Copies of this chain bind each other. A is one copy, B any other.
Amino acid sequence: MATIRDVARRAGVSPATVSYVLNNSGPVRPETRERVLRAIAELGYHPHAGARQLKRRRSDTVGLILPTGERRLSDPFFLELIHALGDACADHHLDLLIATCRDPAADLRLIDRLYKGRRVDGFLLIDLQRQDPRIPHLQQAGIPFVAFGRVEGNGEFPWVDVDGAAGMREAVAYLVGKGHRRIAYLSPPLSFTFAYHRFRGYQQGLIEADLPFEEALFRITRLTMEGGYEATRALLSEGVPFTALIAATDLMALGAMRALHEAGRTPGQDVAVIGFDDIPMAAQAHPPLTTLRQPMDQIGKALVRTWLAAVNGESPPSTLIPPILIRRESA
């Protein structure tokens, strides 16, 4: 495999000059640059990442920890997120390293190994918990990171989040505008930070619309289609009246719609349904699901931009991205 010396020899210059051309980090006569570039192309030369990393002290690699044990993320939303992150990384000539971790306890060791071994320059945290041990660990080890989601009470750290509260307020307002007064709300356990914020948005939406919060309309269930299905069935079988339903995620909303169908109530006609995320399946549901889209591209770009700043030692501002209400037929 060609090295920088080979290129230098072929172009009749020194390795230093080649390096300057490569990174344009030094003065090079246009004509010389030309010759070097030609040599590079002819040899099909690509700089050795390890050597570069060794000298530069950065690997230009983003670390993403993906839990795979109990906490495994199976919401298709995460596939979209990975796509978006990949794209955003590519735009900045960064690579994306996926480290999976079965065991939450091993998370911290994994983080250390990757960072201290300089395999990655910093991390992107997803799937945040309200109490997340990774955050204090990263903070006190001085490892750069950006979180997808906010957590309170952990001091300052950079994050990017979608404004779940705003989204839910908008959803409630939208439903109220259509005359709904009894709006059920399906949530996963509030220990998920995003669930907490979305729920708060629902409550605020009710207040803004002068509607009471009713315990009976509020259900906590699992973060799956099945969860949405069961909660909705419970709602129906208990005879709690409601004309609209908001689910904290599309997957749950899909489950809810299934339960409504089975009970002979047509979503979008008899009961309005709104989800959150806008996973690809939402548009294909029957009826197509009205939902709050998480703008993936924007999220990916914001995460990577913030990550870069953090890695460069800045303390970048956090970003709160508004979700977009996508009106379809379910509400």
Q: Residues of A at under 8 Å CB distance from B?
A: 1, 44-54, 59, 61, 66, 68, 72-74, 76, 78-80, 82-83, 86-87, 89-90, 95-102, 112-114, 116-119, 224-226, 229, 255, 258, 261-262, 280-281, 284-286
Given contacts A100-B83, A255-B284, contact A49 B53 (CB under 8 A): yes
A55 to chain B, nearest CB (A): 8
Known A68-B86, A76-B79, A86-B100; further 9 A-B contacts with Cβ < 8 A? A1-B116, A1-B118, A47-B117, A48-B117, A50-B50, A50-B51, A74-B76, A74-B80, A86-B99
Given contacts A102-B87, A113-B46, contact A95 B119 (CB under 8 A): yes
Given contacts A66-B82, A90-B100, A119-B95, contact A286 B49 (CB under 8 A): no
Give how many copies assemble into the complex.
2
- Nearest residue in B to A45 (C-beta to C-beta)? B116
- Nearest residue in B to A55 (C-beta to C-beta)? B50
**Chain B residues whose C-beta falls within 8 Å of the C-beta of A54 in the assembled complex:** 48, 50-51, 54
9 sampled A-B residue pairs with Cβ under 8 A = A1-B118, A44-B112, A48-B117, A50-B52, A50-B53, A66-B83, A73-B79, A76-B76, A95-B98
Q: A50–B46 contact, CB under 8 A?
A: no
A169–B2 CA distance with the chains assembled, in angstroms: 51
A114 to chain B, nearest CB (A): 8
A98–B61 CA distance with the chains assembled, in angstroms: 10
**Chain B residues whose C-beta falls within 8 Å of the C-beta of A53 in the assembled complex:** 49-50, 53
A255–B288 CA distance with the chains assembled, in angstroms: 13
The residue from B45, B83, B117, B226 contacting A46, defined by CB atoms under 8 A apart: B117
Q: A284–B76 contact, CB under 8 A?
A: no
A139–B224 CA distance with the chains assembled, in angstroms: 43
The residue from B1, B49, B73, B112 contacting A50, defined by CB atoms under 8 A apart: B49
- Nearest residue in B to A286 (C-beta to C-beta)? B258
- Nearest residue in B to A115 (C-beta to C-beta)? B46
The residue from B1, B89, B99, B284 contacting A96, defined by CB atoms under 8 A apart: B99
- Nearest residue in B to A261 (C-beta to C-beta)? B261
Q: B100–A97 contact, CB under 8 A?
A: no
A145–B43 CA distance with the chains assembled, in angstroms: 23
Q: A98–B101 contact, CB under 8 A?
A: no
Q: B74–A118 contact, CB under 8 A?
A: no
- Nearest residue in B to A62 (C-beta to C-beta)? B98
Q: A48–B89 contact, CB under 8 A?
A: no
Q: B95–A95 contact, CB under 8 A?
A: no
Q: B280–A262 contact, CB under 8 A?
A: no
A3 to chain B, nearest CB (A): 11
A229–B285 CA distance with the chains assembled, in angstroms: 10
Q: A262–B286 contact, CB under 8 A?
A: yes
**Chain B residues whose C-beta falls within 8 Å of the C-beta of A49 in the assembled complex:** 50, 53, 59, 117-119
**Chain B residues whose C-beta falls within 8 Å of the C-beta of A113 in the assembled complex:** 46
A258–B286 CA distance with the chains assembled, in angstroms: 8
